[in-house]
Amino acid sequence: MSANRYVLLVVHTGRAEAIAAAAEACVGLSSAGITPVMTGGDLLECAKHVSPVWAQVRELDVAGLVSAGEAIAAGDLELVMVLGGDGTILKAAELVREQQVPLLGVNLGRVGFLAEVEREDLTETVRRIVAFDYIVKERLTLDVAVVVKGKETYRSWALNEATVEKSARERMLEVVIEIDRRPLSSFGCDGIVMSTPTGSTAYSFSAGGPVVWPSVEALLLTPLSAHALFARPMVVNPNSLMAVEVMRSSAGTGVLWCDGRRTHELPPGARVEVRRSQKPVRIARLHDAPFTDRLVKKFALPVVGWRGPERNPEPYQN
């Protein structure tokens, strides 16, 4: 890492509120001697909102070719500050995947499970970044491979989930599920979600999967609209190999989605293998609060009437 301090801002440029928040963050970081950085695409979109603040921002060299010292390499980054929702955080995670730079999310979306703070806390968040006053947690991720006729044809990764889905609405996808190289069941379905504990509150949750605490090391498999007697969500060993094969007899073809961002076509006979990755994603936190409190806050769960033990009277912040 460089002796200078660089913080990458990843912005949901489709939201004026996010761009305004990014400008405020840039001013705060710059005044503290930290150089704000953006990708060329984000910087171009933000600069359309005319403001002198964007002249202070350096550009991230996503190609890895630093030209005349003008661009900042990902390895020089201290932190990634994400202004948007969980989708923007997934975008940021993809940018710094190899360097494993910590991500700190400012929620400008709806639920924002991965985000750490809300928009109104932005000034305090910048102050905490300047003071190195944050902790970093590691989140389990997935390695994903597609094998066709015994040869690997595609490789990717996921923080939330890898999903095998039918590619045509009118045709069911026939699959075989396998755990640790042993067949478990075969059936027709709309798809299969293979997720991490982080992803348990995302697509898997919408499909009826369980909520798994991020500190639990496990993998999840959740069928989508399966035509089968045994098609329940499953929690398996974190070191297991999960696999889904598109049956050669399947009338429909499939498609693989990784975090809803990276996709690959799956012909009949294709096999998708998912296992734990050796590269976690690092999430920066300002508050080491219980995950139970995060669930209650994000889902607005009713807890009226609770009479638990005495606790710190200060309100839960996030």
For residues 212 and 88, give the distance between their C-alpha atoms in angstroms, rounded to a whole number: 22
CA–CA gap between residue 33 and residue 44 (Å, rounded): 23
Edge to edge, the sheet with strand 234-236 lists 234-236, 219-224, 191-195, 161-166, 254-258, 262-266
For residues 125 and 108, what is the distance between their CA atoms, to the nearest angstrom? 14
Phi-psi group of 266: left, alpha or beta (phi > 0 → left; psi -120 to 50 → alpha; rest → beta): beta
Cα separation, 152 vs 145, whole angstroms = 7
Task: Give me the catalytic one of 42, 61, 76, 86.
Answer: 86
190 has catalytic annotation: no
| Burial of 267: CB neighbours in 10 Å, binned 0-12, 13-18, 19+ | middle
Assigned token pair, 67: 């030209």
Give the H/E segment covering residue 161: strand 161-166
Cα–Cα distance, 279 to 139 (Å, whole number): 9
Bridge partners of 164, per DSSP, are: 192, 256
Which of 38, 37, 27 is CA-nearest to residue 5? 37
Three-point CA angle 208, 210, 213, nearest 5°: 150
Catalytic residues: 86
